[in-house]
Amino acid sequence: MEAKTVYFEKPGIENTETALKVAKKRAEELGIKTIVIASTVGDTAVRAVEVFKECKVIVVTHVAGMRQPDTQEFAEENKKIVEARGGIILTTTHALGGLSRAMRSKYNTFVLGEVIADALRIFGQGIKVVCEIAAMAADGGLVRTDEDIIAIAGSGRGADTAVVMKPANTHDFFDLKVREILCKPRL
């Protein structure tokens, strides 16, 4: 089998439209109807529900307090738009962060979740995020672990990474399979 991978010269928001277009084309080719996408403030999520109208779109956000205590970064206006267009928003503890980040902050030590996250970042920040959000969506019961999905993420704002993957719950994280890398920054 041959499949095309798009490599972006650099990471960033300027790749969003192409990443979504590449992902949509492959979703149509494979008959994939479930899209999981990372979105911090919601701009990418709004665009995704426009592009993937015929799919189940699950938007995974940062947890409340990620950047600032008691603050949710996902804009309320974007939340209303995404939900009005049938998107599902999942806000939950990051699969590879959570307690690992707390250990680092309090005891200045790294634990397993952060080591796995750093290992995945060898392939790019977006690859780490697509794996994480797929596990989070599985843990939330929003995706099946026996069906392929397309997961989309970025290296900050916007989207620059998309993959076809078989998700897994966090407790079965090593059963997760990245089947195809559709696009990513060429690091």
Class for the domain spanning 6-185: alpha beta
DSSP state, 121? Answer: G
pLDDT for 54: 96
**Which run of H or E residues covers position 57?**
strand 56-61
Q: What is the number of residues in the chain?
A: 187
- CA dist 69 and 56 (Å) reads 31
DSSP code of 98? T
- Give the number of other Cβ atoms within 10 Å of residue 54's Cβ: 10
pLDDT of residue 132: 97
* Radius of gyration over every alpha carbon of the chain, rounded to an integer in angstroms: 15
pLDDT value for 94? 87
Please give the pLDDT value at position 112: 85
For the entire predicted model, the pTM comes to: 0.94
Rounded to an integer, the average pLDDT of 94-107 is 81
d(CA 126, CA 130): 6
Which pLDDT tens digit goes with each residue over 69-96? 998 999 999 999 999 999 999 999 888 8
Percent of the chain with pLDDT over 90: 80
Lowest-confidence segment of 10-19, 55-64, 92-101 by average pLDDT = 92-101
Distances in Å between the Cα of 105 and the Cα atoms of 99, 109, 110 are: 10, 8, 9
Least confident piece of the model among 1-10, 63-72, 138-147: 63-72
Q: Are residues 126 and 155 in contact, defined by beta-carbon separation less than 8 angstroms?
A: yes
pLDDT score at 100: 79
Q: Which has more confidence, 48 or 99?
A: 48
Whole-number Å distance between alpha carbons of 72 and 164: 29
Q: Is the pLDDT of residue 162 over 90?
A: yes
